[in-house]
Amino acid sequence: MPSYTISVKTGDQKGAGIDANVYIILHGKGLQTTKVNLDTFFKSNFDRGSIDNYTVDFDIDIPEVKRIELWHDTEGVFCNWYLDWIEVTNVESDITSLFTVMKWIKADIHYFFNNIDTCLPQDDPFQKMRLAELENMKEEYELQVKVPGLPAQVKELPENETFSFDYQFNIGHKTTIYSEETKRLVIANGFHWKDEDDIKDMYTEVFGVPEGSKYFNDDAEFGRQRIASLNSLLISLCTAIPDKFGVTEEMVQPFLEGKTIEQAMAAKRLFIIDLAILEGCPAKSDEVVITCPFALFYFNNANHLMPIAIQLFQQKGPDNPVFLPSDPVYVWMLAKMWYNLADSTYHQALTHLNFTHFMMEGICVATMRNLSQSHPVHRLLSPHFIYLISINFLGLGVLVNEGGFLDKTSNGGIEGAFHLMRKSMDFWRLDVDGTLPENLKSRGVLDQSILKDTYHMRDDALLLYDTIKTYVQKYVTIYYSEEGSMKGDCEIQNWGAEIVKSRDDGGCGMLGVPNNGQFETIDQLVVTLTAIIYTCSVGHAAASFQQYDEYGAPFSYPFIMHGAPPKDKEPVDFETVLKIIPNRAELLTLMSITKVLSEKRTKDLGNFEKQLIVDPPAIQVVEEFREDLEKVGKTIDERNQKREHPYEWLHPSEIPNAISI
């Protein structure tokens, strides 16, 4: 009788293993075997995370297995089984077929999996089964606006989206370590600071020293935060001074190296950030304040971006002065700190949470609801959605909730964050804000001769954006080369329609999707998919993994400040600054959370946890993508050797595939 070797990989999710009887039937061209029970006597089968190998004799010789039929009964304690993949090899022909599953297998339901089954719906020979599976997915993945005015998210956590056991254990273990260290340090030292060294003593071996703490009242570092840190997509080329900004020629003349404001603008060396979106943002209590500042920067002859003027609120007035580097030392320091309070408030609510985590979750849910697992776009996007829904589900319950992380460690709390998120939903566009070149162009900084060799985030991110776009272009062209194939693809059209549909009507309400989600050309789909993959990988990495290095340094990047911003330029002492920063418990809590959020936990870009791409032409495209990423890495390595301050955060080896933390 013909022999086959069969390897079965059970997932690592909690409760993934089973004790039941598992049956399999092999299918070939017009052939099928009888069922066989996969079982090894005296051995535990299908344990969580295991690979079980079997040598099985069937009644029919199928040289190349094209399809498998699989099911299990209710024997044993555990009835649901998370199956990663099955590999079948005909011993005589030595032909191996891989069947990617990546889903929970429920008892007494027959599942069919095809070898290399990637296809558009109009080309699928098993269309009824495909439609039935999509209907089930729509029941499991429901879109819901959980917080009024915010992006749509998943209603309930689907079973397929749970963390792997190891991943969940590692997060919990790290969180416990940092929490215990926080308690120890607060009990041993009390809440209030004695001096600057007292703060440095908090950087124990458990936490490590945040990079931002190495700089104290450093204007050049303040400038670098705008172009090589967490919030590097706010700065714009200054072409006019806003009427609300009270800066004058006389004020900034000493800092322009002999130029006038007009000359500095003409030379493209004057830059501005206007955080007007924070005007009216509620604080979590009457005892704290949120600023809504302007900041003006000059790119000097030493190739440093330097702050030259800060106004902390939008409306000019005698109690809202323009602060300058020539002001008393701690007054200028406080102006920068209060500016950075606004910057961090924007960063956490929008750059990090809303523009990556929450926006992408809606697209992830729409993908699961509308694109079959056999759809090529589903397989392209799926590796970039791993753990996204789970981490957001956890975040809403622990971090972004009443009394959670945002409430404890920020001036705005969750109400301030939600307020900003609601406002941003009126302007954020996938084809501008989510598309890096267009984002840079809208701020006048796409030209790399502007802020040359200094705007590291832009320069490295553009390399990655172009690499991802090339990858997507090659991949999509494989499946949409025939005329009419995109218009005839009901799944991709339904997907686009649900992404743009109003949130009130059950969609994602995404603005700026090319052709309003009615995809007609490859270019329209490529722009959309590139923006999604870039945001889930590069965009999130840029916004997330420096969090401990920045938020752990209260003088450099405060997220919570006490008291009120200065209303005049009367000199203050360092004791005043010390009283304004977060107390020990607040800072250590912030350090604990951002330490967890700054740790990469999944594979780097291009090395996928889910190996869903199995089509030979598509596999070749993935290999070329990896080769291109390796070239990008070498280019960044070369750049960093020449940079005064190396920028490692967007090296491909440091970028996870997905928003998984």
What per-residue confidence (pLDDT) applies to 42?
A: 60
Do residues 304 and 271 touch, judged by C-beta distance below 8 A?
no
Q: What is the pTM of this model?
A: 0.93
Label residue 181 by pLDDT band (50, 70, 90): very high
**What mean pLDDT do residues 201-214 have?**
95
Please name the residues in contact with 564: beta carbons below 8 A apart, sequence gap of 6 or more.
289
Do residues 521 and 535 touch, judged by C-beta distance below 8 A?
no
Please name the residues in contact with 114: beta carbons below 8 A apart, sequence gap of 6 or more.
66, 67, 99, 126, 374
Report residue 633: phi and psi, to 5°.
Answer: -60, -40
**What mean pLDDT do residues 256-285 have?**
97
- Condensed to tens digits (0 to 9), the pLDDT of residues 558-572 reads 999 999 999 999 999
E strand or H helix that includes residue 104: strand 95-105
**What mean pLDDT do residues 643-653 have?**
96
Q: Three-state SS across 141-165?
A: CCEECCCCCCCCEECCCCHHHCCEH
Q: Is the pLDDT assigned to residue 166 strictly greater than 70? A: no
- Condensed to tens digits (0 to 9), the pLDDT of residues 108-151 reads 888 888 888 899 999 987 788 889 889 989 999 999 999 999 99
Per DSSP, what are the bridge partners of residue 52? 8
Q: What dihedral do alpha carbons 454, 459, 460, 465 form, nearest 10°?
A: 160
CA nearest to 134, candidates 369, 478, 400: 369
Six-digit token string for 438: 């267009």
Do residues 32 and 60 touch, judged by C-beta distance below 8 A?
yes
Distance CA 173, CA 143 (A): 31
Q: Is the pLDDT assigned to residue 243 strictly greater than 90? A: yes
Distance CA 270, CA 262 (A): 9
Per DSSP, what are the bridge partners of residue 100? 85
Q: How far is CA 119 from CA 212, 371, 491, in A?
A: 49, 11, 11
3-state percent helix, strand, coil for the chain, nearest multiple of 5:
45, 15, 45
- Condensed to tens digits (0 to 9), the pLDDT of residues 598-621 reads 988 789 999 998 778 988 999 999
**What mean pLDDT do residues 446-463 have?**
98
Distance CA 421, CA 354 (A): 6
**186 SS3 class:** helix
Distance CA 499, CA 484 (A): 22
Six-digit token string for 361: 């979750």
Instruction: List domains and CATH numbers for the chain.
Output: 3-117 (2.60.60.20), 153-164+351-545+600-654 (1.20.245.10), 191-348+549-594 (3.10.450.60)
Q: Is the pLDDT assigned to residue 382 strictly greater than 80? A: yes
Please name the residues in contact with 377: beta carbons below 8 A apart, sequence gap of 6 or more.
367, 371, 476, 492, 495, 525, 529
What per-residue confidence (pLDDT) applies to 173?
A: 83
Q: Is the pLDDT assigned to residue 656 strictly greater than 90? A: yes
**What mean pLDDT do residues 322-334 have?**
98
